[in-house]
Structure 1
Amino acid sequence: MTHPDIFKEFNYECLAEQIGSDHYKDMKVEPAYFISENKLLFAEGNVVKYVCRHQKKNKAEDIKKAIHYLKIILERDYPDDKED
């Protein structure tokens, strides 16, 4: 969860709780806060989320999910930039 003193003027009270697990608990900035404050799109936000939590939650599976969302971003935003 995001530490309440780091961004006092932008803190969301709802980030004080995490439902289902505690894999974000020790992070200085919770991914949900970072994603929201930077107004990231869904796919970009998922990349941040999965990369941040992989060591404490689903290991390689979360990295594979992040790669999947990166592929979505490539296809969505750079359809003409095909790999050789």
Structure 2
Amino acid sequence: MDKATLRPSYYKDKRGKDLFSHFKDGLLNREQLSGFYLGNIMKYLTRYREKNGVEDLEKASVYLDQLKELEKDEK
């Protein structure tokens, strides 16, 4: 199964296009994208106890997976 099909609906826009597809289409350059992923990872990890618990940990995991793929693609 494709990873894109495993992502929750909140990662899709009104037309059904996945947020990460926009990034792969060049919405952000590599440095911006890396910073975006890192920022979201830190955001979700630092707030999970006070806000959404496991849901925020899952979101951090999604962004971590994206960052890992970005790094793999770079090498």
The two structures have a TM-score, normalised by structure 2, of 0.51
- Residue identity (%): 36
User: Which residue pairs with 1:24 in the alignment?
Assistant: none
Q: List gaps (5 residues or longer) in structure 2.
A: 1-33
Letter in 2 for 1:46: N
Counterpart amino acid of residue 57 in structure 2: I
Over the residues paired in the alignment, what is the CA RMSD in angstroms? 2.0
Residue 69 of structure 1 and its aligned partner are, at CA, apart by: 0.3
**Matching residue within 56, 59, 62 for 2:53:** 59
Question: In the superposition, relative to structure 1, how do residues 80 and 44 fare at CA in structure 2: closer, same or farther (>3 Å)?
Answer: closer
Post-superposition shift, 1:79? 3.5
- Partners of 2:57 and 2:37 in 1: CA distance: 14
- Larger CA Rg, structure 1 vs 2: 1
Which letter does structure 1 place at the counterpart of 2:56? D
After TM superposition, which residue ranges in structure 1, 4 or more long, deviate above 4 angstroms? none
Residue equivalent to 2:44: 50
Cα distance in 2 for residues equivalent to 1:44 and 1:62: 14
Distance, in Å, in 2 between the alignment partners of 1:80 and 1:45 is 19
> In the alignment, which of 39, 43, 62 is matched to residue 68 of structure 1?
62
Per-residue CA deviation, residues 27-84 of structure 1 (Å, 9 max, x unaligned), is: xxxxxxxxxxxxx700000000000000000000000000000000011111388xxx
Pairs aligned (count):
42
* Unmatched runs of 5 consecutive residues or more in structure 1: 1-39
